[in-house]
């Protein structure tokens, strides 16, 4: 899909901006003409990011400012609300540090306009050359998070869930609970979990990242101790709403059979082991079986849960049809 075709749609870009005064002008100037609206949310940035955007005097820019820093998620909440107010057909999230190549926008937007997906995300891992330029901390950090985010969101088909280059249809944005999006570093993962509960179709688009002189904001401590509890809670929410409230599937049955069996086997086995250590009397065959069999059955049932979940990745877009061009 070329620029002339894309110009028939109302396409907007939301840029959360914090300490990006060195890059923000280049980012905005680099956006192609088919982008009708550029929503820049300056998130209480202590530098001159706001002034630099204002001086550009680009008629496409809608400049907003937070007086108190709310994080990337808080900035995106503000940007999403403005996008809904403007009635945009497609909304793209781009960062203000010039890591996301605007030349890739047509490839990111085309599946949305054509009705093939509700959301598209960049995937850096399909480009070996780009990976060589990616800082090592990002490679290891993203690799460690990938499995946990897949588990929490249910999008086992995504290979770069932490990628922030995201586009979504405006009609899907109307269904997103913007107030429940995480306001800070967990925004991308939390957004995917909410999409998983909605069963929106999310498609990977191979887009290489580019890195310059900016510093990585990925914190090892934050990743190791902050993300897992939130992802575990997100997993529990998705399973509850998707497989027990909105539907009751084979996964629901396997989960109800598997988790109690596994817990019983582990707890009972631990008690027997402690008794053996205290009394020095070997456990009976019956005690061993009462512990081992529930563990074996529990693991098998939960394995079936994983298999069902992997096969059950959403495939039917909620949008259902192509977006109608504007006159």
- Digit-coded pLDDT (tens) for 198-233: 999 999 999 886 665 555 555 556 666 778 899 999
Tokens found for residue 65? 């400012």
- pLDDT surpassing 80 at residue 250: yes
Tokens found for residue 326? 């504007």
Phi first, then psi, for residue 41 (nearest 5°) are -110, 105
Tokens found for residue 99? 């890591």
> What is the C-alpha separation between 48 and 42, in angstroms, rounded?
10
Report the run of H or E that residue 167 belongs to, with start and end. strand 166-169
Tokens found for residue 315? 């495939």
Q: Are 77 and 179 in contact, with CB atoms under 8 Å apart?
A: yes
Q: What is the mean pLDDT of residues 137-157?
A: 82
- pLDDT surpassing 80 at residue 127: no
- pLDDT surpassing 70 at residue 151: yes
- Contacts for 218 with CB less than 8 Å, ≥ 6 apart: 137, 138, 141
User: What CATH superfamily is the domain 3-243?
Assistant: Spore Coat Polysaccharide Biosynthesis Protein SpsA; Chain A (3.90.550.10)
Of all residues in the chain, the percent with pLDDT exceeding 70 is 90
Q: Are 269 and 291 in contact, with CB atoms under 8 Å apart?
A: yes
> What is the C-alpha separation between 219 and 186, in angstroms, rounded?
12
Domain boundaries, the chain: 3-243, 249-311
pLDDT by residue (tens digit) across 16-35? Answer: 999 999 999 999 999 999 99
Q: What is the mean pLDDT of residues 250-266?
A: 96
> What is the C-alpha separation between 174 and 177, in angstroms, rounded?
8
Q: Are 44 and 68 in contact, with CB atoms under 8 Å apart?
A: yes
Closest-CA residue to 192 (of 147, 230, 152, 224)? 152
């Amino acid at each position: 899909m070329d620029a002339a075709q894309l110009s028939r749609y109302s396409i907007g870009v939301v840029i959360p901006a914090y300490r990006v005064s060195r890059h923000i002008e280049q980012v905005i100037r680099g956006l192609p003409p088919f982008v009708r609206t550029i929503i820049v949310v300056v998130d209480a940035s202590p530098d001159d990011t706001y002034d630099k955007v204002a001086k550009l005097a680009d008629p496409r820019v809608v400049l907003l400012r937070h007086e108190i820093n709310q994080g990337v998620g808080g900035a995106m909440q503000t940007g999403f609300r403005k996008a809904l107010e403007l009635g945009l057909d497609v909304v793209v999230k781009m960062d203000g540090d010039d890591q996301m190549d605007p030349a890739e926008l047509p490839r990111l937007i085309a599946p949305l306009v054509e009705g093939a997906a509700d959301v598209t995300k960049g995937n850096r891992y399909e480009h070996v050359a780009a990976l060589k330029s990616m800082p090592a901390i990002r490679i290891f950090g993203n690799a460690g998070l990938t499995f946990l985010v897949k588990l929490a969101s249910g999008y086992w088909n995504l290979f770069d869930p932490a990628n922030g280059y995201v586009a979504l249809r405006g009609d899907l944005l109307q269904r997103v609970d913007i107030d429940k999006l995480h306001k800070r570093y967990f925004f991308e993962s939390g957004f995917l979990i909410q999409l998983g509960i909605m069963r929106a179709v999310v498609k990977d688009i191979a887009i290489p990242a580019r890195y310059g002189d900016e510093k990585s904001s990925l914190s090892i401590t934050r990743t190791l101790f902050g993300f897992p509890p939130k992802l575990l809670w997100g997993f529990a929410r998705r399973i509850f709403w998707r497989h027990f409230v909105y539907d009751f599937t084979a996964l629901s049955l396997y989960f109800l059979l598997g988790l109690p069996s596994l817990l019983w086997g582990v707890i009972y086995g631990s008690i027997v082991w402690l008794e053996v250590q205290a009394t020095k009397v070997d456990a009976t065959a019956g005690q061993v079986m009462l512990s081992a069999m529930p563990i074996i059955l529990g693991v098998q049932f939960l394995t079936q849960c994983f298999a069902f979940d992997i096969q059950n990745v959403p495939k039917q877009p909620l949008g259902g049809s192509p977006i109608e061009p504007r006159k």
